[in-house]
Structure 1
Amino acid sequence: MADARTTRHPRGPVTYLLRVVAVVYLALLVVWPVALVVTNTFADGLTSLRGLFEDPDMVAALQLTAVAALCATAINLVFGVSMSLLLVRTEFPGKRLLSAALDLPLSVSPIVIGLALVLVYGGRGGWFGPTLEGWGFQVIFSTPGIVMATAFVSLPLVIREVVPVLREIGTEQEQAARSLGANPWQTFWRITLPGIRWAVVYGVVLTLARSLGEFGAVKVVSGNVLGETRTATLAVEEKYLNFDVEGAYAIAFLLASVSVVCIVVVQVLRSRADRH
């Protein structure tokens, strides 16, 4: 009897048609637009990219974007792993409601998220804004607001990568470690974390990529002040509207390149780990 894993089904015209449709769809939606960004960025050589790093305002925008993305990624890493353990390893009333609420940032427009943050932390009429500003801490129209907005929109990405893996690996090894005298912290570092490490890495990479490209929520809470609260994505819009198309392409290429490099590096590292 033939092994089911080696059985090959005949490929009919419908199979090839679906493949062609998928390839054409991806080419038109992803490959072609990205290729146009790359070709337009290097149409004049490295002039566009060199101009970015010679402009102090653009350097400030790139630095602010990097700071916001790294801070948001670190926040969501800690929160995402902790929340994943809570959802998978414990039972409590309202668990399903909490799990559904965690997907809210993916279903709500980033503009709405930005507006909600303004209503809560804004200096004029916000619930906590006037009190915080009285203490000398400004959230909206400053870096903390940008970090909060960026963390909010990317909040579920680590959780949705880690939760399925936690469910798959089960609790047998963790119970065995505790029976041998390991405390919860030792169990997490030596048993749980190694089992979910690639899920965590993928979640971090997706969070970083999402954070680098955030526009809507950041536009609402940043104030878009040149050299202070203007991020790289806001600079893309500003340059494009002011007919500096080359500069807009250069910034977009730089942001996309960082995300692509992160994904490629993760794939290479995981393939090497699987071989060993």
Structure 2
Amino acid sequence: MAKYPLRILALVYLLFLLVLPVGLVLWRTFEHGLRPVIDTLTSDNATHAFAVTLSVAVWAVLANTVFGIGTAILLVRHNFPGKRLLGALIDLPLAVSPVVVGLALILVYGKFAPVGGWLEDHGVQVIFSLPGMVLATIFVSLPLVVRAIVPVLEEMGDEQEQAAHTLGANRRQTFLRITVPGIRAALGYGVVLCLARALGEYGAVAVVSGRLVGQTQTATLYVEERYQNYQQTAAFTTAAVLALIAIVILLVTKLLRPKEND
């Protein structure tokens, strides 16, 4: 009998926390018609913000995919001193505020920091430019691919890989023909989650980007800037696009979620 009150409670909770806010954003987006929405999406600043967002997200996903596969195999298939410490460090971004991440990156890669100063002397600017934004996004989305793959690798075991080695397959062949097909669904799930996190990141990117309009402004920063400047149609339109992207990504993750996690 308790399941019905619990269902109602969950639905009411989601209604006020998720459905109503997103619904209001969509309503405010189109309350003045379709023309302002089109004008916003085709404006130079909006298109540039989406381009920067996509560029940062793609680089972050690529880096975390390579790191995630390698680290997951390392954690599951090998024993070494400091293994638990490595696992804890991978989960660190889940516990640390993104704003703290941005500040930490400035302390390391800022113009007046030893590392950042050396890089700038050699023509590489990290903070207040695309590299710093990519680093911040990589950090906040770091655990997602790893944690999606690790349970699947543990479930697979290494019997098939050992058999492939016995039959003469080298490491590369074993990885491509045994490991990758076995983790394909989990890898896709982790990549999609990483992409969603990268597209929606605000705190760390806001700190390291400098929020330069037309230069280092992502879509999330564009929403804030437009809203603070009382250009609410532009802000709500961009927010609605991000919300729709998130919904699509959510549907994709449902399709890619490994069966053992259901």
CA distance in 2, matches of 1:25, 1:75: 36
Aligned counterpart, 2:242:
255
Aligned sequence identity (%): 54
RMSD of aligned residue pairs (Cα, Å): 1.7
Aligned counterpart, 1:5:
none
What is the 5 A alignment of 1:1-276?
12=1, 14-124=2-112, 126-268=113-255
Aligned counterpart, 1:9:
none
SS in 2 for 1:102: helix
Q: Deviations over 1:215-241 (max 9, x none)?
A: 111111001111111111111111111
Which letter maps to 2:31? A
CA distance in 1, matches of 2:165, 2:3: 51
Q: TM-score, normalised by structure 2?
A: 0.94
Q: Deviations over 1:185-223 (max 9, x none)?
A: 111111111111111111111111111111111111001
Q: Deviations over 1:147-204 (max 9, x none)?
A: 1111111110111111111111111111111111111111111111111111111111
How far did residue 48 of structure 1 move?
3.6
SS in 1 for 2:215: coil
Q: Deviations over 1:71-115 (max 9, x none)?
A: 101110111111100101100001001101111111010000000
CA distance in 2, matches of 1:53, 1:253: 11
| Structure 2 alignment gaps of length 5 or more | none
Relative to structure 1, is the Cα distance of residues 28 and 201 closer, same or farther in structure 2, using a 3 angstrom cutoff? Answer: same
Q: Deviations over 1:51-77 (max 9, x none)?
A: 223321221111001100111011101
SS in 1 for 2:114: coil
Contact 2:189–2:257 (Cα < 8 Å) also in 1: no
**Greater displacement, 247-256 / 91-100:** 247-256
CA distance in 1, matches of 2:165, 2:246: 39
Contact 1:119–1:127 (Cα < 8 Å) also in 2: no
Aligned length: 259
Higher helix share: 2
**Greater displacement, 200-209 / 41-50:** 41-50
How far did residue 267 of structure 1 move?
4.0
CA distance in 1, matches of 2:93, 2:256: 30
CA distance in 2, matches of 1:114, 1:266: 28
| Structure 1 alignment gaps of length 5 or more | 1-11
Relative to structure 1, is the Cα distance of residues 78 and 269 closer, same or farther in structure 2, using a 3 angstrom cutoff? Answer: closer
CA distance in 1, matches of 2:226, 2:86: 41
Aligned counterpart, 1:3:
none
